[in-house]
Amino acid sequence: MLVILTDEQILSPKQVCQGCLMANRSGLPRWNRGKLGCGQVLDRSRQNRPMLYECQMGFRVAEIEGAIALS
């Protein structure tokens, strides 16, 4: 399950990613084999916590047990 987290709310990636030129054909983040293809890793030292990424649009992305959360 993919979600976008802001300071005040949780959004569907389709609400944000569909306007992004880096999104896949479905308007979702480019997530492939456990890596975000449209962003970069923010923190590699997160033991027992989700890996953090930042997408090209500036949202934070966290892998959560097979899902992605964007903030």
Radius of gyration of the chain (CA): 11
Give the residue numbers spanning the domain of 27: 2-70
For residues 19-44, give the mean pLDDT. Answer: 85
Phi and psi at residue 17, in whole multiples of 5°?
Answer: -75, -25
Comparing 68 with 40, the larger pLDDT belongs to 40
Q: Quote the number of domains for the chain.
A: 1
Entry field: residues in the chain: 71
Comparing 5 with 31, the larger pLDDT belongs to 31
The pTM for the full model equals 0.69
